[in-house]
Amino acid sequence: KQEVTQIPAALSVPEGENLVLNCSFTDSAIYNLQWFRQDPGKGLTSLLLIQSSQREQTSGRLNASLDKSSGRSTLYIAASQPGDSATYLCAVSGQNFVFGPGTRLSVLP
Amino acid sequence: DARVTQTPRHKVTEMGQEVTMRCQPILGHNTVFWYRQTMMQGLELLAYFRNRAPLDDSGMPKDRFSAEMPDATLATLKIQPSEPRDSAVYFCASGLEQGGTPSERTEAFFGQGTRLTVV
């Protein structure tokens, strides 16, 4: 059974810092990995999808990497802004679609 | 503007009542997921459909929950009878699996959720 964990559970940083969020999964037989953003009381917004054959994907200030063999993915956020404050979730697609518990990010002005 | 639409957005009901939540997947998508989100458990997969057929509903309490896809444009999640512990946000997501099989290009798109409160 696939298990997904995320570290740290919460993170608070001053504006402008670069930061890394981590996602680990136990079963490397995945099709892809998605990173989502969730604002309080809102739905999930897809940020990046990394296919299992890819090593990384970039979108603006976001860069996500994938090391399938070690069961790890990282989401790098450059030059963080207060508007980046949200919960970030990773999800792996294998036999079904399994989410991690999320990292709650606060970027302080 | 292609998006997953869920109704209602909010629902307050009394314990024992039937609750029906609806989801309109993105046109052309052939997979639908139902998730429940709570503070304690996070996002839990309740049901997974491909081409309207249920593939995995192992996460769903069978005695009171049921999920169906009457047609390709509508998915429903019903709870009967509802209980206070069912209070949560229920999300629907859809995706396109080319050739009817999962692929590394399959991306899931989520609706805004239905916030259910059972009193």
Q: Convert the pLDDT of each residue in B74-98 to its tens digit.
A: 999 999 999 999 999 999 999 988 7
Q: CA A14 from chain center: how many Å?
A: 19
Asked whether residue B11 carries a pLDDT value surpassing 80, the answer given is yes
**Interface mutation vs chain A, best among B46, B104, B114, most A CBs within 10 Å:** B104
Residue B24: strand, helix, or coil: strand
Of residues B104 and A49, the one with the higher pLDDT is: A49
Structure tokens at A3: 């298990």
Structure tokens at B5: 């639409």
**Diameter of chain A measured on Cα atoms:** 41
Amino acid B105: pLDDT: 78
On average, the pLDDT of chain B sits at: 92
Amino acid A49: pLDDT: 94
**With an 8 Å Cβ cutoff, is B96 touching chain A?**
no
Amino acid A80: pLDDT: 97
In chain A, which residues have pLDDT < 50?
none
Mean pLDDT of B104-112: 88
Measured distance CA(B94)–CA(B48) in Å, rounded: 10
pLDDT band at B38 (very low <50, low <70, confident <90, very high): very high
- Long-range contacts of the stretch B52-58 (C-beta < 8 A, 24+): B55/A96, B56/A95, B56/A96
Asked whether residue B17 carries a pLDDT value surpassing 90, the answer given is yes
Give the nearest chain B residue to A52 (CA atoms): B104
Structure tokens at B107: 């991306």
- CA-closest candidate to residue B44, choices A19, A1, A17, A75: A1
Amino acid B1: pLDDT: 62
Measured distance CA(B27)–CA(B16) in Å, rounded: 34
